[in-house]
Structure 1
Amino acid sequence: MNSMKLTVMAASTLLLAQTANAETLRLLTWGGYAPQEVIDQFQKETGIDVKVTKSNNEDMISKLRATRGAGFDLVQPSQDRITGAQRDFNIYQPIDLSKIDTSLLIPSMLEATKNNTGLEGAVYGVPHIWGTSGLVVDTKSASGIKDYTDLCNDAYKGKVSYRLKRPTLIGFAFAMGEDPFAAYSDPAKYQAILDKVQAKLIECKPNVKAYWSGGDELLNLVRSGEVVGAMAWDAGGWKVNRDNADITFVAPESGALGWIDTFAIPRKSKAVDAAYKWINFVNQPEIAAKITESAGNFTASKGADNFVNDTAKAQFQSSFPQADIDNIKWYPTVPAGLEEMEGLVLDRVKAAN
């Protein structure tokens, strides 16, 4: 065998050995949260492979519960779905915040996630992708709509829309000076808040063109001009804004209602160091912007909005000055029994004349 063949064989053997020994990060996440170009760049810089499995909150909990926290190295549950699952099934390990470059993160989002994923002195989540519901407003014909309860002003009779769902109850409560999240642990106090909101929503019924149930239904009502103000999500408002500059998402004065999908590390993760490397990698502003372009939602990476496309950048910065970001009301875990209370109120609102 000549020396050339020996050299080729040796090189091939070395490559196979390196591939076999390459570390793999098993990521359980949502669609769009780990675009291929980001995976490729991470692998190039770290030598770590990333195996992605797409999932949702219920599926993540189910998979980790079945394996008692094994099978994946990093997962992305919503922040309000962590402490209950951890308390019941012990599927996560505490986050070591000393391994997170927190300087990359929007401080208010980091603090909210620490609070909402904290359990028995430990933190189990780090913020990543987020979004909000608030107001979608035709600013030309309904400039007076600044908060949820403004939808009930006489000037907009028959021209507003919202869902008969929890976000409407929560949003109206905050706009009426209450703190429903603080009352979650006191059912009697929470019921008193719901009663107050119920009266307001019944009073507001003449203003409602339709209680929307599907996103396309609402956006069509807004585009046609039949609805000039609505409770809806930020991405929906920005979508209409691309067609009509007068219509956009507005963060309510009492605070937009926010959700955050986090990073959490399963209890039996086999690649913990790789998990922390991925978290810090994707929170770099330029990388985070690529994820925003893929997922359609912004991340908790500070300054990442400066690296997205010009349209998204302008929309985000117009809708969310820093004060409005810091005023977002982040959904906490919902205690048992509250959904039934809310359901009864929504039924009464719907049935009222």
Structure 2
Amino acid sequence: AQPSQDRISSVVEQYGIYQPIDYTRLNTAQIDPSLLEAVKKNTLVDGKSYAVPHVYGTEGLVVNKAKAPDIKDFKDLLDPKYAGRVSYRLKRPTLIGMGFSLGYDPFALYSDPAAYQKFLDEMEKVLIAGKPSVKTYWDNGDQLLQSLRSEEVWAASAWEQAGWKLHSENPNIDYLAPTSGALAWVDTFEMPAKSENLDAAYAYIDFMLRAENAAFFTNRETYGTASKDAVNYLDPEIKANFTRGLPPEVLANINWYPTVPAGIEEMEGKTLDKIKAAR
């Protein structure tokens, strides 16, 4: 099974559908240590972890550096000097990314609904005050790409894949990991509770995370993997993207999505509705 890390611990606690990972049966030396530790932490249940990282993707900034050279973090999207030249989604990553950029740790507040609501109230004020900066709240990838291509928008919060696509067309535009850390998901390898041939399962995970094999995947799908040395086997253009945008020090600074407690997304949705409705 290959669920995202933020959707594992809750179903383990409720239904016991996965079994713990025995990391001693894996070649963990070939796995990026920051990804491995993040997944161990975010899938921890009763002292045991339940996943191995595989594929990841990030949300950060896509910036036209010729037009908006000073944008380095999510909060910079609200700088008045870029009024009408910024775009982002009215989705939960905007609340969370802006929070990290302004010095909060939103994930640490998940366990305290009252504190998280107070945080959301602050983000509501910040994002309503920042509405003059926004050209559009983008809804789909094509809309985002076209607005940046046309230079109608100079900077946006978006995925690395969008930034790298645009960089191949215009070298002034590129993906940038925010200084407060990009947001990221990671899909994992999991062992179903009733799995029997564990030797084969662990061998398969090792095989997929072997640098040459992981690079084969990334060269075709363009998404990064947890394989530490796969970058050495990537096609030149793809290698340049990862070397430039997601080197090890950036991965070590990523804010990985943890398990989302019940009720959090509903709270976020109400805040986003208020921001959208504000004049």
Q: Normalising to structure 1: TM-score of the pair?
A: 0.78
Summarize the alignment of residues 200-349 of structure 1 with structure 2, pairs less than 5 Å apart.
Answer: 200-349=126-275
Deviation by residue 1:317-347 (Cα, 9 ceiling, x = unmatched):
1112322110000000110111111111101
Q: Which residue of 2 aligns with 1:159?
A: 85
- The range that moved more, 289-298 or 110-119, is 289-298
- The range that moved more, 290-299 or 157-166, is 290-299
1: CA distance, partners of 2:89 / 2:142? 13
Letter of the structure 2 residue corresponding to residue 279 of structure 1? I
Q: Which residue of 1 aligns with 2:18?
A: 92
Cα drift, residue 101 of structure 1: 0.7
Q: Percent identity?
A: 52
Letter of the structure 2 residue corresponding to residue 271 of structure 1? N
Deviation by residue 1:24-67 (Cα, 9 ceiling, x = unmatched):
xxxxxxxxxxxxxxxxxxxxxxxxxxxxxxxxxxxxxxxxxxxx
Q: Which residue of 2 aligns with 1:113?
A: 39
1: CA distance, partners of 2:76 / 2:142? 23
Unaligned segments of structure 2, at least 5 residues = none
- The range that moved more, 143-152 or 80-89, is 80-89
Q: Secondary structure at the residue paired with 2:274?
A: helix
Looking at CA atoms only, which structure, 1 or 2, has the larger radius of gyration?
Answer: 1
Cα drift, residue 294 of structure 1: 2.6
Cα drift, residue 89 of structure 1: 1.3
Q: Secondary structure at the residue paired with 1:260?
A: strand
Q: Secondary structure at the residue paired with 1:334?
A: coil
* 1:191–1:209 CA distance, 2 compared to 1 (3 A): same
Structure with the bigger RCO (C-alpha within 8 Å, sep 6+) is 2
Runs of 4+ with >3 A deviation: none
1: CA distance, partners of 2:235 / 2:151? 28
Cα drift, residue 281 of structure 1: 0.9
Summarize the alignment of residues 48-59 of structure 1 with structure 2, pairs less than 5 Å apart.
Answer: none
Letter of the structure 2 residue corresponding to residue 181 of structure 1? F
2: CA distance, partners of 1:290 / 1:281? 12
Q: Secondary structure at the residue paired with 1:122?
A: coil
Deviation by residue 1:241-267 (Cα, 9 ceiling, x = unmatched):
111111010000000001000000001
1: CA distance, partners of 2:132 / 2:101? 19
Q: Secondary structure at the residue paired with 2:108?
A: coil
1: CA distance, partners of 2:106 / 2:125? 16
Q: Secondary structure at the residue paired with 1:242?
A: helix
Q: Is the 8 A contact 2:222 2:238 kept in 1?
A: no
Unaligned segments of structure 1, at least 5 residues = 1-74
- RMSD (Å) for aligned C-alpha atoms: 0.8
Q: Normalising to structure 2: TM-score of the pair?
A: 0.98
